[in-house]
Structure 1
């Protein structure tokens, strides 16, 4: 939709809007027929008035059927609709007498031409609705110019032009608001349905899987040895599963649509465990699906470094923040930290974990990576990527 109008449309609301336009076309046609029947004996070419009415009737029938099919509501049909409306207005200069035009008698189609403005406003938004009104306003003015009228336009013509502009502006704006409201309602219904399903799954998981993992953790601690390690892993999986349930959704599968987006929160909360704390905003943090997966992979690489270099007792904290036009993820640990020059030495020795798995991924997304570390003070890796697709 032009001018930032929403492109996603609900079929239910859109169908209702087009039905309303179709009803308007029919009623406005009846009104135009009454006006022509009352005035035809004063026309310069009375037969021309009936010919214009026949064109309007034929186009009304065709347009009602054509606009009811979403696949046909494109530029060709909209342009034809506007062209027919403008032609009917211009025909007034031939059918009417100059005296009647000068006296302020309405154009032959009267308010029927507003249906074209409404169609443009519903299909393309308020800006193009106003553009359609401008075309018809020019046709009205041209009728007076062809008729040789001087001294400006009459009050009736001026009022008609103003109403056309108001129709394009107001209807286009209201349609945009209505579609946005319906989209929000649909999203709320979807979230409510997902919440209910999540609660149902959470109850079932709590009654089975979580209880088993908790029992394995407790018994492993009691038995000691290798069983204690098994118990520790079970505890981490229990914490990760609880965090995943609480986050509201599982990590999404890669989307085939190149323009698809994904919520970064569930991808990160999947790494939560007894030793890893993940903090995310309450609302969705959306990125292009590819970018979200790459950020998650970089976080996974950072956490893997914590496990390999900081020992089993180290803790890590993952923080997701959303800024103006960018998303920042920081991974901080309480390990021994890195001495100065450690990363340069690793790169020189061919160990490119940080350089490729973290910095390389984020750089490919157009983002930046900052690393702070000192011996004995832990390490913090801050990754910032733009919201726009790269």
Structure 2
């Protein structure tokens, strides 16, 4: 799973620091081996040059990988290529007789550094790819294939997969922690606003509704509207904000549908959560909102609406029914031909994008019922 470069404070930062320590520790081990086996090398001067390149590259990568913007393909590819070159040049500089006698190659543990770098930057697959390439290079310099010669490659492969998996889990944990912090902050702000609204706006609206409930004319209409807005505000501040996640997360559809409850809109939902992928839930909620907008627009402000949420296990059904004037036969087709695509796009289009279907039942003078059906995708 490719990941974006780390940012300051990321959970990947300790992994990059640990990788830098590993590079220097493995380099120190190689230098000690070189001092011990220098007299067995076929070309000691060339060996010294190779070791100098390894020292310079270790210092450079420790600096380069410390910068998040540099942890990209140019540096990752160069790291792998240089390490492979060190492995492939070992038989020439050290000499095959010395290698056959048990003298280790230049890379030894140092060759694991690019494997770990690829794993931290891109997860299991990228780490495994680097391990396979370096393992193939190591086997290419050996005259015979033995159990001990394969062990190093297997260890690198396991390290790449393990570190890549840990890195992926860290990235997921970091994303969830960030969303939890944002949700907590949003919830606290919502509660603060709810307290302010309850102590001011709702009190005024309730007062207007009580004082004008028995009046006729515009004063009575004003009191009625104040009562509707009071009910809408109370439902809004009492409903928990839905969690905004990606398409793979699930949210409770009740929290989205419940926002539309007002004095003229009744919402009925199961007592238990109705989970649905976040992207599908948002589309269904927007489609319900569009249907209720049509009720308010074409019902003359007097129509009532009922929203029913049902969970059938394999599918979720939302029905929006009203007691308005209804839709004349052919009206929807005529509106689409005139370019008025409210129903086609705001309702049908949204539900279709969520993998569902829409059925509209209406007759003049008998209201309208819009049924939204969204199937659950089972893995």
- Please confirm whether the aligned pair reaches a TM-score higher than 0.5, indicating the same fold: yes
User: Aligned residue pairs: how many?
Assistant: 363
Distance of 2:197 and 2:211 partners within structure 1? 20
CA offsets per residue over residues 156-198 of structure 1, 9 Å max, x none? Answer: x322111110111000001101111121122112212221221
Aligned twin of 1:153: 146
Distance of 1:269 and 1:235 partners within structure 2? 18
* 8 Å CA contact 1:263, 1:287 repeated in 2: no
SS in structure 2 at match of 1:382: strand
Aligned twin of 2:197: 205
CA offsets per residue over residues 273-295 of structure 1, 9 Å max, x none? Answer: 11213468677863399968963
Distance of 1:321 and 1:214 partners within structure 2? 35
Query: Is 280-289 or 163-172 further displaced after alignment?
Result: 280-289
Distance of 1:315 and 1:142 partners within structure 2? 75
Distance of 1:193 and 1:34 partners within structure 2? 54
* 8 Å CA contact 2:291, 2:370 repeated in 1: no
Distance of 1:234 and 1:353 partners within structure 2? 36
Please, which runs of 5 or more residues in structure 1 have no aligned partner?
253-261
SS in structure 2 at match of 1:13: coil
Query: Is 27-36 or 276-285 further displaced after alignment?
Result: 276-285
**Which residue of the other structure, out of 128, 132, 135, is the alignment partner of 1:134?**
132
Distance of 2:230 and 2:349 partners within structure 1? 34
Aligned twin of 1:163: 155
Aligned twin of 1:307: 299
Aligned twin of 2:371: 382
Please show how residues 34-45 of structure 1 align to structure 2 within 5 Å.
Answer: 34-45=32-43
Matched, 1:295 2:280: no
Aligned twin of 1:358: 343
**Which residue of the other structure, out of 89, 92, 96, is the alignment partner of 1:91?**
89
* 8 Å CA contact 1:264, 1:284 repeated in 2: yes
Aligned twin of 1:275: 264
* 8 Å CA contact 1:216, 1:231 repeated in 2: yes
CA offsets per residue over residues 305-345 of structure 1, 9 Å max, x none? Answer: 6734xx72634226497998x98653123x2785xxx5434
Distance of 2:5 and 2:285 partners within structure 1? 25
Distance of 2:368 and 2:53 partners within structure 1? 77
Query: Is 209-218 or 227-236 further displaced after alignment?
Result: 227-236
Q: CA RMSD in A?
A: 3.9
Distance of 1:21 and 1:213 partners within structure 2? 63
Aligned twin of 1:49: 47
**Which residue of the other structure, out of 61, 72, 75, is the alignment partner of 2:73?**
75
* 8 Å CA contact 2:205, 2:227 repeated in 1: yes
SS in structure 1 at match of 2:213: helix
Distance of 1:374 and 1:86 partners within structure 2? 76
SS in structure 1 at match of 2:304: coil
* 8 Å CA contact 2:15, 2:120 repeated in 1: yes
Deviation at 1:352, TM superposition (A): 7.9
* 8 Å CA contact 2:307, 2:318 repeated in 1: no
Cα gap change, 1:135 to 1:322, in 2 (>3 Å): farther
Distance of 2:186 and 2:335 partners within structure 1? 47
Distance of 2:375 and 2:121 partners within structure 1? 32
Aligned twin of 1:331: 320
Distance of 1:55 and 1:323 partners within structure 2? 63
Q: TM-score w.r.t. structure 2 length?
A: 0.81
SS in structure 2 at match of 1:44: coil
* 8 Å CA contact 1:251, 1:267 repeated in 2: no
Deviation at 1:108, TM superposition (A): 0.8
CA offsets per residue over residues 35-65 of structure 1, 9 Å max, x none? Answer: 1111111111122222111111111111111
Cα gap change, 1:120 to 1:250, in 2 (>3 Å): closer
Aligned twin of 1:258: none
**Which residue of the other structure, out of 324, 328, 331, is the alignment partner of 1:346?**
331
Deviation at 1:228, TM superposition (A): 2.4
Aligned twin of 2:226: 234
Cα gap change, 1:323 to 1:103, in 2 (>3 Å): farther
